[in-house]
Structure 1
Amino acid sequence: MTSWQVVRLLAGTFILLSLALGVPGSPLFVNTWWLAFTAFVGANLLQSGLTKWCLLENILRKLGIQPGC
């Protein structure tokens, strides 16, 4: 997997997990404040789309994950 694929995989996982923990109708509901984490991940995706820079992708590259196209 390339770094951009790992970033998107982690972002999707974090969004789904935080929704499961933050939506009152979910069987995994803990607290509605988990929805703030969903907003944080979404804001980071928006920022990376506008600036073409992602901190997590840089970290992954330093860990040896190959850069994407």
Structure 2
Amino acid sequence: MTIDSAVFRFAGVVVLASLALAHWVHPAWLWLTAFAGLNMFQASFTGFCPAAMVFKRLGLRPGAAFR
């Protein structure tokens, strides 16, 4: 698994989990969805992604997007 695929999977889990929490627990969990979306948006321009840095330290090999 590359850092890229790990970041995309992690972002997907965060979005789906926050939507489920917003539906069954409290609508304020949608702020987590907004945060994940904003983070993905800024990473597409800057290449800076905190999750990618964590996955790199865990030893995943680089992909095309996050080195």
Q: Does the alignment reach a TM-score above 0.5?
A: yes
**RMSD, aligned CA:** 0.9
Larger Rg: 1
Q: How far apart are residue 62 of structure 1 and its match?
A: 1.2
Q: List structure 1 runs of 4+ shifted beyond 3 angstroms.
A: none
Q: What 5-or-longer segments of structure 1 have no aligned partner? A: 24-28
What corresponds to 1:67 in structure 2? 62
Q: Secondary structure at the match of 1:33?
A: helix
State the one-letter code of the partner of 2:5.
Q
Instruction: Find out whether 1:44 has 2:22 as its counterpart.
Output: no
Answer 1 or 2: which has greater helix percent: 2
Q: What 5-or-longer segments of structure 2 have no aligned partner? A: none
Q: Which has the higher contact order (CA 8 A, sep 6+)?
A: 2
Q: How far apart are residue 53 of structure 1 and its match?
A: 1.6
TM-score (normalised: structure 2)? 0.88
Number of equivalenced pairs: 64
